[in-house]
Amino acid sequence: MRILGLALAWGLAVFACVFLLAPLVVIAAASFSPTAVFDLPTTGASLRWYQRIGTLEGFWPALALSLQVALLSTVVSLVIGTAAAIAIVRGKLPGAEAFAAALVSPLMLPGLVLGIALLQYFRGLGFSNPWGSLALAHLVITLPYVARTMLAGLTRFDFTLIEASLTLGCTYPQSITRVMMPALAPSFLVAGLFSFLASFDNYPVSIFLTDVRTKTLPIKMLQYIEEAPDPTLAALSALILLGTIVLLILADRAVGLSRMAGTAE
Amino acid sequence: MTMDAAAHLAVRGVSKRFGATTVLADIDLAMPKGELLTLLGPSGCGKTTLLRLVAGLAEPDTGTIILGGRDITRTPPYRRNVGVVFQSYALFPHLDVAGNVAFGLKLRKRPKAEIDATVGRVLALVHLDHLASRPIRALSGGQQQRVALARALAVEPSVILFDEALSALDRKLREAMQGELRQLLTEIGATAIFVTHDQEEALTMSDRIAVMHRGRIDQLADPRTLYEKPATAFALSFVGQSVRLAGRVTESVGGVSRIETPAGPVLAPKTFSPGYDVIVATRPEHVRLGPGDNTLTGTVTGVVFQGARSTVEIAAGGLKLSAELSGRETPPQPGAAITFGWPLAETLIYPAEGVA
Amino acid sequence: MIAAARLLPDRARRTALLLSAPGLLVLVGLFILPLSLLLGVSVQGEGGFSLAAYQKLFGTPHYRHVIWNSLWLAAVVTLLCFLIGYPASFAIARARGGWRSLMLACLFLPLSASVIVKAFAWTILLRSSGIINQTLLFIGIIDTPVRMIFTETALVIGAVNIFLPFMVLPVFSVVAQLDGRLGEAAATLGANPLETFLKVTLPVTMPGIIAGVALVFALAVSAYVVPTLLIGERFPTLATTIAKSYLLTREEAFGAACGVALLAIAIAVVVISARLTREERA
């Protein structure tokens, strides 16, 4: 019975790994397709779809917009979220627990609903700049990731380190830049990674805040897929995947996946 | 206070309140250069707060703190030149051993060569020179303790403060560290304050001990005086073992009081007005079998042989007392009725009120 | 001086308020206020207050079916994720060294990968000329390609694929801390493996299960990209209806009502899971 249970667990774990990786492997393989119909490169690999990524209509502006919004919202969220997490962890804040729960709550609530709510809200305020709307909306998308990771990181942070640095000659700002930030670097990295990815990949919120000329990369990609899917999209997907892998490897080097698994969810 | 004028570190009339709680009440303390002083007391007595005030991690409500002739009462910690070894060590996890030790020197913008030399010298002092490039998390507790010490020493602070710095080590390591630390600090002529609730550590490490109780210094004395002449009943109970009897003064003649206790009448060498409730005490090693200036009778309830000495547990007048015999004396059998006594000169007496 | 002493706790509180102010501003100004406004929009008819949108949503058989679709999808996906993910978490937690890292990488990479990329990959995998059909044809299980894309099966496969890591990670983080001796202790007390599982393992891992189930259900009930790409118009959900109301038909009050309904489901999941977790702890 025990053996049976173990065999079941291992079998399902292996199945889960294969199942989870399958789409990623397929997309990477299809990107080298020699023909235009997503054949696997069994007869010969081709790089021509990669060369055609840049020629996709509206690709470069969409990529630029997505990168700008993701970077800006991640950086601002890191500052805001860390400050809020410090206030919560250091106590002295009335209603700290409720505030912490509220900061993390957008994670569990439907993005699509946030999207239409912000659409109505910005319209009501007469705010119609799509770039600004996107940047503000993505703040709400990224903040929960930062808040969650930094709350976990700061709970483990020994604030005596700050006092130690003060007695060794750090001014208050120096104790932040020379001790607190480097000591929390792993948390910052994980928080930044997940909030960047969340923003870069977001579709349900962005779709309501863009106009014809201002579209993020996920919106463009869904449009390409619905209009005329060809291996160029597989090539683009494979590149995005490659970027994700690089970021994950960096995070693993700095933090370790095991610890990330404990803090990420 | 003539001593105060020459003091390296002086605390004058310092008080501190947190909300409605008085944590420190009118503290005065003066230390000459090179002294090793311990603030000894139970948790909540204010010893850590006093240390934090000296370090600049908190500000007193009243009073002044003077270090090396300079008023540092409102000086921020980073301009005090005070070294602190924290209970949790507070080593920087993102730096290696040498990086931690060099931290304060880099902030002082010392030349690179000088920093390297100092780090090497200080690490050698704590016997860690071979671990300079280790990350902190790869060190044992004892090694981390040494790094914390080296980091504090490296900046050549005017005073080094130890906040329960040895309490996280296991007993054996702690005892070894105590001796070594005392020798090292004496060698380099450091002025240091230890905060601890461990009386053995206090007796081992210090030139003088300040026994703190409820935000005040009950007694400030060298270890021997503290042990032999505790100034208050609290100091008596907190340092060393003691035989204690509660009683009431019946008469007081020629500097000697007679006290009625549940175990029988006892004499003590101090004048009190009759009717006064007091605590009479002595140290177990002064108690002898057979009559003395003060003589009581009781029943032996147990004998513990400890090699060089034996401890005899005695029940007398509903109280439990203990006496110490040297190992050569034959201890009585449990259950035996005995007479025991101690000299008048070794009898201590305190007012009963305010005893914890 | 004494006044300064009394001010000190206030100063600490002021600092805390100052630090939390920007976060609070974002939360209120960009989250709570917009969602409250949405509630207002949903009850706005042509002549002022109106519940017409809600009457349409709950009163029309078609839209009742839409709500049912959303809940059905979330329930099926959550159940499948649990059945695969719960036992798998134990294997990952038991794995050591390289194996564990490998399996965690197998979780984190898909988790971090773009949802659109993964959904797109499934459209390739599941199409008639796709790899699954080719494999099945090759083995000889089927003679003609099976239509898989744009079916409920495709939708569920794709959704389980995307949400599985959200089940495994919370369960794993609890299981990894599980003391193996707990089961041994139960065994020495005479519990057989099934009893050990039901009376020890299951209760101890319950916080992880609650977190995983709540997360997957909340995400799946509002999934938009997966249904759009893998089943399309044939399977309308609350999420796709919201998008349609706002992007195509311009029935904003109705879309808002759907949004409020979806929000209510998500909030219910959060509240119920929080309460269950609290009861678990007590």
- Of residues C210 and A5, more confidence is placed in C210
pLDDT, mean of residues B255-278: 89
pLDDT, mean of residues B170-183: 87
Write the DSSP assignment of A206-225 as a string of letters: GGGT--SS---HHHHHHHHH
pLDDT, mean of residues C184-213: 83
pLDDT, mean of residues B277-305: 88
Band of pLDDT at residue C6, cut at 50, 70 and 90: very low
> Would you state the torsion angle of the CA atoms of residues B90, B93, B98, B104, taken in this order, to the nearest 10 degrees?
-50
In the predicted model, is pLDDT for residue A265 greater than 50?
no
User: Would you call B61 and C9 a contact, using CB atoms and an 8 Å cutoff?
Assistant: no
In the predicted model, is pLDDT for residue A142 greater than 90?
yes
Mean of pLDDT over chain A:
88
- Of residues A91 and A208, more confidence is placed in A208
pLDDT tens-digit readout, B75-131: 999 999 999 999 999 999 989 999 999 999 999 999 999 999 999 999 998 999 999
Listing from the earlier edge strand, what are the strands of the sheet with B337-342? B288-289, B337-342, B294-305, B309-316, B319-326
In the predicted model, is pLDDT for residue B4 greater than 80?
no
What residues 42-81 of chain C have any CB closer than 8 A to a CB of chain A?
none
Residue B190 Cα, gap to closest chain A Cα (Å):
17
Comparing CA positions, the residue from B286, A262, A219 lying closest to residue C89 is A262
Band of pLDDT at residue C181, cut at 50, 70 and 90: low
Tokens of C74: 């979330």
Q: Sign (positive/negative) of CA torsion A93, A94, A96, A101?
A: negative
Residue A10 Cα, gap to closest chain C Cα (Å):
5
Rg (Cα) of chain A, in Å, rounded?
22
ipTM of the complex: 0.88
Neighbours of chain C (3+ CB pairs under 8 A): A, B
pLDDT tens-digit readout, C122-180: 988 888 777 777 777 777 778 877 777 788 889 999 999 999 999 999 999 888 887 66
pLDDT, mean of residues A160-168: 94
Mean of pLDDT over chain C:
87
- What integer pLDDT is reported at residue A263 of this predicted model? 42
The pTM score is 0.81
Nearest-CB residue to B88 (from A160, A166, A168): A160
- Chain B environment of A168 (Cβ under 8 Å): 78, 83, 103-104, 107, 151, 155
- Chain C environment of A140 (Cβ under 8 Å): 26, 30-31
Nearest-CB residue to C266 (from A81, A101, A108): A108
- Chain B environment of C9 (Cβ under 8 Å): 19
User: Would you call A110 and C243 a contact, using CB atoms and an 8 Å cutoff?
Assistant: no
pLDDT, mean of residues B34-43: 93
Band of pLDDT at residue C232, cut at 50, 70 and 90: confident
Q: Using a pLDDT cut of 90, give the percent of chain B over it.
A: 52
Q: What are φ and ψ of residue A156, in 5° steps?
A: -85, -10
- Of residues C38 and C181, more confidence is placed in C38
Residue of C nearest to A26 (CA): C121
Mutual orientation of helices C61-94 and C152-175 as an angle, nearest 10°?
Answer: 40
pLDDT tens-digit readout, C97-138: 788 888 888 888 998 888 999 999 998 888 877 777 777 777
- Chain C environment of A70 (Cβ under 8 Å): none
In sequence order, the 6+-apart residues with CB closer than 8 A to the CB of A242 are: none
- Of residues B218 and A261, more confidence is placed in B218
Q: Which residue matches tokens 């209806």?
A: C241
Residue C61 Cα, gap to closest chain A Cα (Å):
23
pLDDT tens-digit readout, A7-42: 888 899 999 999 999 999 988 888 887 777 665 656
Distance separating alpha carbons of residues B159 and B37, to the nearest angstrom: 11
Rg (Cα) of chain B, in Å, rounded?
24
Distance separating alpha carbons of residues B133 and B124, to the nearest angstrom: 14
In the predicted model, is pLDDT for residue C278 greater than 80?
yes
| CA within 13 Å, CB half, A185 | 16
Tell whether A94 is within 8 A of chain B (Cβ).
Answer: no
User: Would you call A166 and B151 a contact, using CB atoms and an 8 Å cutoff?
Assistant: no
User: Would you call B84 and A164 a contact, using CB atoms and an 8 Å cutoff?
Assistant: yes
Q: Sign (positive/negative) of CA torsion A252, A253, A258, A260?
A: negative
What residues 1-60 of chain C have any CB closer than 8 A to a CB of chain B?
1-2, 4-5, 9
Residue C11 Cα, gap to closest chain B Cα (Å):
13
Residue A16 Cα, gap to closest chain C Cα (Å):
7
pLDDT, mean of residues B175-198: 91
Q: What are φ and ψ of residue B329, in 5° steps?
A: -75, 145
User: Would you call B62 and C9 a contact, using CB atoms and an 8 Å cutoff?
Assistant: no
- What integer pLDDT is reported at residue C4 of this predicted model? 40
Distance separating alpha carbons of residues A122 and C88, to the nearest angstrom: 45
Band of pLDDT at residue A44, cut at 50, 70 and 90: low
- What integer pLDDT is reported at residue B5 of this predicted model? 56
Nearest-CB residue to B94 (from A163, A169, A185): A185
Q: Using a pLDDT cut of 90, give the percent of chain C over it.
A: 49
In the predicted model, is pLDDT for residue A132 greater than 50?
yes
Residue B54 Cα, gap to closest chain A Cα (Å):
11
User: Would you call C125 and A23 a contact, using CB atoms and an 8 Å cutoff?
Assistant: yes
Query: Which span out of A128-142, B258-272, C142-156 was modeled with the highest average pLDDT?
Result: A128-142
What residues 126-165 of chain A have any CB closer than 8 A to a CB of chain B?
158, 160-161, 163-165
In the predicted model, is pLDDT for residue A260 greater than 80?
no
pLDDT tens-digit readout, C255-270: 999 999 999 999 999 9
Contact A134, A68 (CB under 8 A): no
pLDDT tens-digit readout, C47-88: 888 888 999 999 999 999 999 999 999 999 999 999 999 999
In the predicted model, is pLDDT for residue A258 greater than 70?
no
- Chain A environment of B151 (Cβ under 8 Å): 164, 168
Query: How remote is the C-alpha of B48 from its chain's centroid?
Result: 12
User: Would you call C259 and A110 a contact, using CB atoms and an 8 Å cutoff?
Assistant: yes
Residue B33 Cα, gap to closest chain C Cα (Å):
30
- Chain C environment of A42 (Cβ under 8 Å): none
Long-range contacts (CB closer than 8 Å, 24 or more residues apart) made by C10-19 = C12/A92, C13/A92, C13/A93, C13/A94, C15/A87, C15/A92, C16/A87, C16/A90, C16/A91, C16/A92, C16/A93, C17/A87, C17/A93, C19/A83, C19/A84, C19/A86, C19/A87
In the predicted model, is pLDDT for residue A56 greater than 60?
yes
pLDDT, mean of residues A52-65: 89
Tell whether A95 is within 8 A of chain C (Cβ).
Answer: no
Tell whether A54 is within 8 A of chain C (Cβ).
Answer: no
pLDDT, mean of residues B215-239: 91
pLDDT, mean of residues A133-153: 94
pLDDT, mean of residues A203-228: 90
Helix/strand/coil percent split, chain A, to 5: 75, 0, 25
In the predicted model, is pLDDT for residue C2 greater than 50?
no
Q: Which residue matches tokens 């002082």?
A: B108
- What integer pLDDT is reported at residue A76 of this predicted model? 97
Distance separating alpha carbons of residues B122 and B117, to the nearest angstrom: 9
State the CB neighbour count (10 A cutoff) for residue C10.
10
**What's B65's DSSP letter?**
E
pLDDT tens-digit readout, B228-242: 899 998 899 888 888
pLDDT tens-digit readout, B72-85: 999 999 999 999 99
- Chain A environment of B93 (Cβ under 8 Å): 183
